[in-house]
Amino acid sequence: MWPWKSKRTRNRRAAERAEAAELPPRRIARRVLAAAAVLAAVLAGLWALDQPIRTVTVTGRFQHLTPQQVGRAVAGAVHGAGLLTVSLQNVRRAVAALPWAASVSVGRAWPHGLQVWVREQHAAAQWGADGLINSRGVLFVSHVSAPPRALARLSGPEGTEAEVMRRYRAMRERLAPSGLAIAALSVDARGTWRFTLRNGITVRLGRSEVEERFDKFMSAALGIVQRRAAAISYVDMRYTNGFAIGWRKGASSHATPSEGRRVRPAGSSHPHGRLAQGGLGARPRQEGRDA
């Protein structure tokens, strides 16, 4: 069936076009005035809604931030804007810039207020001398006067925060069943890793095969560390076929009958590694100048 248009429809449209082409000045003026009236009504409505911001309600559980700090950040971002014209994004950014703010939401609370929800950062570890990082390895406070003593101290070159935190969390989880905890974990500019347990024993992992060496510590050295913690100064895992133990000054380096005189890494087909005394014995495999 072919589409068609009635003659009446075509005539009416032609008439409308002709009328539009020959609108008299008065009709044009009336239409302009009507449009202006609509615009004025819209602007009046917007003005009525864009009331001054008189209240800021802050919600959150705070230990380090205060509602007053949040309120000052909001005031600095509002810059006298009304409730309708204020940039909620700018307000959110201003509050999120506070050192302990983890996440921020901002909303309008009609007719005269703003509602701000804030979640604080959780310090998962100390970074360097006086910084704090969260569980994602984000350094959110560069300097704090008194870092919590219970936090492990992590350190490394700038930009390694996330990597160090990832390794710390993995090691902490594996050590937890043994009752041992990490007091410090570090990587230096050359990529050399080491960690210190809360009992004061330092474990040297070196620059290569770090995961494998930690596995060897867990399977072969952990038992000795648990039994003789008071006598041990450090454990050096940088040996190809075993590990070395450095004894504290004045402590006996003789192994118990159950420990024997040699240590063999679990799963190794190589000869037994040597249990060094005072750090002596077989030298660790070299990685440049330092393993």
Task: Confirm if 121 and 140 have CB atoms less than 8 A apart.
Answer: yes
Q: What is the distance between the alpha carbons of residues 26 and 23, in angstroms, rounded to a whole number?
A: 8
The Cα-based distances of 114 to 94, 103, 228, 288 in angstroms read 14, 17, 61, 60
- Give the chain's residues under pLDDT 70: 1-50, 251-291
> Which residue's entry shows tokens 């159950």?
258
3-state secondary structure of 274: strand
pLDDT, residue 267, reads: 35
Q: What is the distance between the alpha carbons of residues 130 and 128, in angstroms, rounded to a whole number?
A: 6
Q: What is the distance between the alpha carbons of residues 51 and 15, in angstroms, rounded to a whole number?
A: 48
pLDDT, residue 53, reads: 87
pLDDT, residue 146, reads: 82
pLDDT, residue 225, reads: 97
Task: Confirm if 125 and 133 have CB atoms less than 8 A apart.
Answer: yes
pLDDT, residue 102, reads: 94
Give the pairing type, strands 232-236 and 202-206: parallel
pLDDT, residue 148, reads: 83
Q: What is the distance between the alpha carbons of residues 125 and 260, in angstroms, rounded to a whole number?
A: 38
For residue 109, what is the enclosing H or E element?
strand 101-109
> Helical H runs in the chain?
7-21, 25-49, 67-78, 88-96, 161-175, 210-216, 222-227
Structural domains in the chain? Answer: 55-120 (3.10.20.310), 125-274 (3.40.50.11690)
Q: What is the distance between the alpha carbons of residues 251 and 54, in angstroms, rounded to a whole number?
A: 70
For residue 266, what is the enclosing H or E element?
none
Which amino acid makes up residue 194? R
Both tokens assigned to 144:
């704090």
- Average pLDDT of the chain? 80
Q: What is the distance between the alpha carbons of residues 291 and 67, in angstroms, rounded to a whole number?
A: 51
Which amino acid makes up residue 36? A
Both tokens assigned to 237:
């895992």
